[in-house]
Chain A
Amino acid sequence: MAQAGHAAALRSRTPTRALQPARVAAAAVRAATVLAVLLALCGLWELFRWIWVREAWTWPFPVNDTTLPHIQTIFKALGEPATSQGPLLITVLLHAAWFTAKEALVGFGLGATVGFALAVVLVHSRIAQRALLPYIVASQTIPILAVAPMVVVWLKSGWQSVAVIAAYLTFFPVTINTLRGLQSAEPRAHELLRSYAANRWKVLWHLRVPASMPYLFSALKVSATASVVGAIIGELPSSIQGGLGGAILNFNQYYSITPANLWATNLIAAGLGISFFVAVVLVEKLVVRRAPEQRA
């Protein structure tokens, strides 16, 4: 809530999200630092590789071209055909990523909606909370990979079952966090609305939901990557060829021959997860306006 406190100097009158040069510069510096750290990590990789190969150490694992390819090998593989006379690996992977992205997106939307609705139901009833929360938590102990084949059989293989599996991994953080967010408004604010003779729905719309936004987006950031993971896992038992899951299965078979392909696939998969995450962060910046010290 708003802090009375040390007299805050008035900031400029323009809305906080203006693209002021200072903020753009700060973002650029951050990006540059991340890039620098990435390069440092690549350097570490190669250094680790070099030392371990030289000393032929076998702990934690023997290092050679199969177990830990050169970084440049991985990038080179992207530029080469995946199969003889076929399209470039990177083209194949990007298509697969797009395929998986669509499934993940549907699953994300479904899981987020279900999770949010569930939280709204739960916040209004302590009995429902006590009755249902243990099962909601327990649902996450069921190994999704084990259930995936059955989901595929039930819903007849296809992208729908993949989306359902992605939704399954998405809804839990959203439910738990949104519930906490819906309960996060201070008692005084509830009293204020009571003084306006507000009914349950008005309290929900004007107080609980806005108060829950930071918590919701915190969960959506986790769910963003979880939905991608779910989609990939869902593709495995479905024998769906077109997505990243299929690519992983495929390149796993030929790992000893061309290990770089699998690593490259992981790279693209990470990229997909990251882009979902970044999308959520961008939406959050647009939607959620809070005092700077309160932002997660």
Chain B
Amino acid sequence: MIVVSIAGLTKTFPKGNVTALQEIDLQIEPGEFVSLIGPSGCGKSTMLRLIGDLTPPSSGTVEVNGKSAHQARLDHDYGMVFQDSVLFDWRTVAKNIALPLEMLGWARAKRKQRVDEMLNLVELLGFGDHHPWQLSGGMQMRVAIARALSFEPALLLMDEPFGALDEMTRERLNIELLEIWRRMSSTIVFVTHSISEAVFLSTRVVVMSPRPGRIAGTVDIDLPQPRSADTREDPRFFEKVTEVRELLRGVGADEHGSVLAEETA
């Protein structure tokens, strides 16, 4: 069954008369890791929000797991991770992870068990009693990921989750994310600014163009799995990066001279 099915999706913001997305068609199969990449204003974050029913479409349809996006949200079909980890200061790490479980009405014992499993998954066992401000940025992001996965949604929506982290932490978390993706057999839709990150993580990269937001092209990443630090040095990796970059170059410079996010080597 198709996980995400988008047809003819258009989103305009009346304020400022902005067409964030125009006539988007996209299908995402189970188990895929799809990255959305593009210059500022291409609507990638908006698209993620539309999938999550955090904002309504102006026209067109968004379906998740065969239902409307709205129903999917009510049925808790997906987990979401933001760039700012959005952890609650007044809860311990363990209680932060348990938040969605509490909302779903899980029993205390079941919650505790699942939280321990999650802490193990993101390698934060022993930090359950800490508070978010006692952890580093990378660890906070891992908590956010653990929270998003705690109720085992089949779909994970991630909006530039590693954008605020340094390069080393970022690369490490990339590998960890792939590990989690494999273990939980999830489908992931991932918004990012970084070409190398998109190519490294995904099975498919969707390149978007701005004003109005459209899909400019798609690059299938058929690099072997499981991917590791070595993958980044594979010549085929560079080919794919170049392919994505060429597509972006085609949409990146417009008459206003907007600039792509620069790549660090």
Q: Which A residues form the contact surface with B (CB < 8 A)?
A: 1-5, 7-8, 10-11, 13, 15-16, 186, 188-189, 191-198, 202, 206-207, 210-211, 213, 288-292, 294
Contacts and interface: CB of A to CB of B under 8 A. Distances in A.
Contacts of B86: 1-2, 186, 188-189, 192
A291 B82 contact: no
Contact of A1 (B73, B84, B126): B84
A143 B203 CA distance: 71
A34 to B, nearest CB: 29
B76 A197 contact: yes
A189 B86 CA distance: 6
A206 B102 CA distance: 10
Contacts of A189: 86, 88
Given A2-B89, A2-B140, A198-B103, 11 more contacts: A4-B84, A4-B164, A8-B136, A11-B134, A186-B84, A192-B86, A195-B54, A195-B80, A197-B76, A207-B88, A289-B89
Contacts of B102: 206
B74 interface: yes
Q: Is the interface of B mostly helix, strand, loop or mixed?
A: loop
B100 interface: yes
A11 B134 CA distance: 7
Interface of B: 52, 54, 73-76, 78-80, 82, 84-91, 99-100, 102-104, 126, 129-137, 140-141, 164-165
A194 B140 contact: no
Nearest to A12: B134
Contacts of A290: 89-90, 133
A192 B73 CA distance: 11
5 contacts: A1-B88, A2-B133, A196-B100, A197-B76, A290-B90
Contacts of A197: 73-76, 103
Contacts of A211: 90
A134 B88 CA distance: 33
Contacts of B91: 210
Contacts of B75: 197
A4 B137 contact: yes
Contacts of B129: 13, 15
B155 to A, nearest CB: 11
A1 B137 contact: no
Contacts of A213: 90
B136 A7 contact: yes
A2 B80 contact: no
A67 to B, nearest CB: 51
Contact of B88 (A11, A16, A195, A210): A210
Contact of A2 (B54, B79, B87): B87
A210 B90 CA distance: 7
Contact of B84 (A188, A206, A294): A188
B54 A191 contact: yes
A292 B132 CA distance: 12
A8 B84 contact: no
B73 A3 contact: no
Contact of A206 (B99, B126, B130, B134): B99
Nearest to B52: A195
A10 B90 contact: no
Contacts of B89: 1-2, 289-291, 294
